[in-house]
Structure 1
Amino acid sequence: RKTMYVGESISVIGKFFAITYVQNRGAAFNLFTGKGIFLTVVPFVALLAAIWYMERHKSAHFTLCFALQLIIAGGFANLIDRVALGYVTDMFDFRIWPVFNIADICICVGCAILVLYIFVFDKPQQKSTGAKNEPGKNI
């Protein structure tokens, strides 16, 4: 922030990747720009809910805990920027995608791992009653 002006871009890999200084005053992809209170309160409440959930499920599968930790870390990093500066500093520019930051990477990777957890590891426990699971029996 101290050595670049807003919108300045430094090419790193030709036209493929650059470091571009952006002050994102909205949410992801600059959605909800100008909704400062909304963009502060909603993420704060969501982060508190994620922390509460993680605290209550300390013995949960490692994958779930790791996903939530990434989401919480990224969310707090962006929230700190937003509260302290009034915007989130974004810098990674792949030219074909909106500019983003490390916190955004944490949030996206955490969400992807959470989806993986839901579809791979979070299988419902079948009751061990000895009876076969027949259609219509558990209605």
Structure 2
Amino acid sequence: MPISLLATIAAVVVILDQWLKQYIQAHMLPGMSIPVIDGIFHITYVLNPGAAFGILENQRVFFIVIALFMLGLAFYFFKHIPKKFMLMRLGLSLLAGGAIGNVIDRVQTGYVIDFLDFRIWPVFNLADMAIVTGVGCVIYTLVFMSFPTEDQESSR
């Protein structure tokens, strides 16, 4: 998977995430909820000042710095990931796109705009889905893919 395709995936995540959030802001008021499947799935406009589950509320600078640091690490290590680990590359692209989407929110408003509400889980957004999926891809690769050992590397 070439780097340009992975950059495109990250860009698509950012564009979709920001478009959805702008749509929600333009058509709803904070706290407003619209049932899609009553009692199961709602579109609920929430301004989240913290991280997942609202932890570390109002730590805007902390979250921006951490996200930018993690993005820097992802971009640095991306070029070192062997091409055969496409799932890990995809995961980092999704993670980067999601992180950028949420950083844009934090820089612009100090909050992350959440709107997907399944009623049994805290309200979240597309960027959060990309981050979780990306982390899942990375973890899956680390756990189930074989990496060369030092002995294998030195015998080449």
Q: TM-score range by the shorter chain?
A: 0.7 to 0.9
| Partner AA of 1:21 in structure 2 | Y
- The structure carrying a bigger helix percent of its residues is 2
Give runs of aligned pairs for residues 39-50 of structure 1, distance below 5 A.
Answer: 39-50=63-74
Question: 4+ residue runs of structure 1 moved beyond 4 angstroms?
Answer: none
**Distance change (3 Å), C-alpha of 1:126 and 1:43:** closer
User: What is residue 37 of structure 1 aligned with on the other side?
Assistant: 61
* Identical columns (%): 36
| Partner AA of 2:46 in structure 1 | V
Which structure 2 segments of 5+ residues have no match?
Answer: 1-24
Which structure 1 segments of 5+ residues have no match?
Answer: 129-139
SS in 1 for 2:113: strand
In the superposition, the TM-score normalised over structure 2's length comes to 0.76
User: What is residue 106 of structure 2 aligned with on the other side?
Assistant: 82
Shift of 1:115: 1.2
Tell me how far apart the structure 1 counterparts of residues 52 and 84 of structure 2 sit (CA, whole Å): 29
User: Residues 59-99 of structure 1, C-alpha deviation per residue, up to 9 Å, x if partnerless?
Assistant: 35101101111111100110011111211110000001000
Task: Give RMSD over aligned pairs.
Answer: 1.6
Which of residues 26, 45, 48 in structure 2 aligns to 1:2?
Answer: 26
Q: How many residues get paired?
A: 128
Larger radius of gyration: 1
SS in 2 for 1:56: coil
Tell me how far apart the structure 2 counterparts of residues 101 and 62 of structure 1 sit (CA, whole Å): 25
SS in 1 for 2:121: coil
